[in-house]
Amino acid sequence: MQLLERVPPEQLERIINVWGRIEALMFLHRPTALVADVLGVDLSIARTLIAILITMALSFSFMFVSRPSSRKSLSGGLGVFLLVYAYGVRSLYCVALACLCYALLLLGIDKSQLPRAFRPFRVVRLRYVTAFTWLLAFGFLNYVQLNKYLSWSVAGWTLDYSGPLMVFVQKITMLAHNIEDGKKMKSDPTSLTPRQRRYAISSMPKLSEYVAYVFFFPSVMFGPNFEFADFRTFLMTKKLPSDKPRENRMRAIGKNFAIALCLIPVAALSFNHFNASTLSDPAFLTSSLVWKAVAIKVVCVMFRVKYYFAWIMSDAFCAAAGFGLHEVDGRYVYGKYSNIDIVHFETTPDVRTVTGAWNRGTNRWLKYYIYDRVPAPRAVRTLMTYLMSALWHGFFPGYYVFFLAMALGTFTHRALRKAFRPLVAARSRYVMWIYVITGCVITNVYVEFVESAFALMRLAPILDLWAAVYYIPVIGAVALLLVATLVSRSRKTRAEVEKKDE
């Protein structure tokens, strides 16, 4: 402040005006305000729509760039540009996290591979570097999310700048493990799973590769995450595979666009009429139980639509750029790293499949980099994975209530499958159909009920809503878990008795 007081007022005003012009140019204030006025929407929504159009145009043009060095530069540079446009100064959080984690990863490689500026530092063991990377990435993310929690308001919708940061944490921690696995490949390859050996990285990525990977512009706004080894192959390979039939790229993009266009009016309804505040309305809480069940279902579906839209558009961006091609049933199709299959998610017969079908990129990260790497019993790993997922989402109590309830649902599903699946499988196919349909209905009711906690976020309205429906789904899940456990034990005891009689 004392330094600013010494600056003449005329010069200070000139500096402010120059900075204002630079900011307006970088963040495209005037075009964004014009679009918002024409469409009659909030600036955040206008900024999102413009960012989507820019990303799609850039993704199409990316296919015509053949030189790997140019593809790296465009991938990272355009990603930074989109972040700056969409989130303004807050995009510096993403840049800072990426820089800090890269500097930390450098400390775990051989001194001969280090840049000269880092050679005076003592090289840290890679397993410690991986652990420190987790701590740094999660600590940074949690700091941002704590600020978000303390300043949260129910008024309106804004483009959440913590979203890209969450994906950055996934990418960076995945990369840290891949580098560590690359070192294990040389010393003890048998300690790695086939998947870990496939994605292991033998050398530290160059800065240009790292920036291109973390800031890859088709996925920088809405995800998904992806493996560095696949991305490196994509950067270095211009020609698409031609040895087998391949899905038409324009058809894949058009399909995603058609789905996204159908979701837009549904999203508009969710913002204006069927939002989470409906579930905390006193008039709603005193309505009939049937109406509460219907309303919870509608509100939760509407709540998911914004995620559907973002992930479907991300699939379109990646397909336009030529990324995500993989082999399925003898032909190459796009969508290897797709985050959602809407039909599969909405019609799934059990809780385990629900968790695997929703935000599939995050589920791959949780499974392969947390669940599979924690040396603990299965139940402990499951609970720890759900808790890590809640911590990754933020500090709202609703996240922890939701994931703990989903853990209960997962334990119940396992117990029911173990107890009753063999009995049903021995019956006719009609009994199996009844079993599957009943599972679909129960799963749907339970998931929609616990998802209301994710939508409401705050603890008080969650408890009010659950009390209004008498905690029936949670009590039912606990009861089914106990029944299934007793049935399994009785079958085990009966089998042991029969074995002794023989």
pLDDT in tens, 333-351: 898 999 998 888 888 878 8
Number of alpha carbons in the 13 Å side-chain half-sphere of residue 246? 14
Q: What does the angle CA 399 – CA 223 – CA 200 come to, to the nearest 5 degrees?
A: 100
φ, ψ of residue 247 in degrees (nearest 5): -65, 135
**Residue 26 confidence class, pLDDT cut points 50, 70, 90:** low
Distance of CA 422 to the CA centre of its chain: 35
pLDDT in tens, 440-491: 899 999 999 999 999 999 999 999 999 999 999 999 999 999 999 998 888 7
The backbone region for 245, taken as left when phi is positive above 0, alpha when psi lies in -120 to 50, beta otherwise, is beta
CB-based contact 231:215 (threshold 8 Å): no
**Looking at the predicted structure, is the pLDDT value of residue 309 above 90?**
yes
Predicted local confidence at residue 8, as pLDDT: 60
Percent of the chain residues topping a pLDDT of 70: 85
Helix axis angle for 429-456 and 289-321, nearest 10°, is 90
394 CB-near residues (< 8 Å, 6+ apart): 142, 145, 148, 149, 162
d(CA 176, CA 181): 9
Can you give the pTM of this predicted structure?
Answer: 0.88
pLDDT in tens, 271-303: 667 788 889 989 999 999 999 999 999 999 989
